[in-house]
Chain A
């Protein structure tokens, strides 16, 4: 399977703490994206990092990318109860429009 792996599979933290999720992938990529999925909903795009970038910020989100290790991490700072959701990484396979999604991390932020 080309599917990426994410860890942890589940994460439970207190409101105000930081949450870190990791993603590993297998193929060469053009870019890597992170999506959020609230229960019973479709996925929503959060942030994109290109293969020639190492770090990117957007609000409380920080993404890193290490193409030599084929891995990425998503950090959510000062988490809120509303951040409770599943988070997926997605890689765009080089030379195609094909997206490969990771297995996801279920984040629960306790108020």
Chain B
């Protein structure tokens, strides 16, 4: 398995533009998590899905952020409009139903909003 796949790996955009981050979880995993990592705030859970259903989005900072999981193999995190303070590394992670509760992280998307 290729692991969790995220795209793009790097994104540079200007303030006000729409940004879409993509994630493909590990096949067979039924939980998906979006995190944001910054030096100031550390690793923050934004939202997680279970069986494609959003369970907890209390970490989503503002209405400018939205996430979808239309099927078990794809999720998006959208920021519209983007602001400089959204600059961070965004990670997607997935977790399977069996075995230990470990999460498998993707390589992350480094977002820079100018």
Contact = CB atoms under 8 A, between A and B. Distances in A.
Q: Is the interface of A mostly helix, strand, loop or mixed?
A: strand
User: Do most interface residues of chain B lie in helix, strand or loop, or is the interface mixed?
Assistant: strand
Interface of B: 4, 31, 33, 35, 42-45, 48, 50, 55-56, 91, 93, 95, 100-108
A48 interface: yes
Contacts of B50: 97
B101 A44 contact: no
A99 B45 contact: yes
Interface of A: 3, 30-31, 33, 41-45, 48, 88, 90, 92, 96-104
Contact of B108 (A3, A42, A92): A42
A43 B55 CA distance: 22
B107 A41 contact: yes
B84 to A, nearest CB: 21
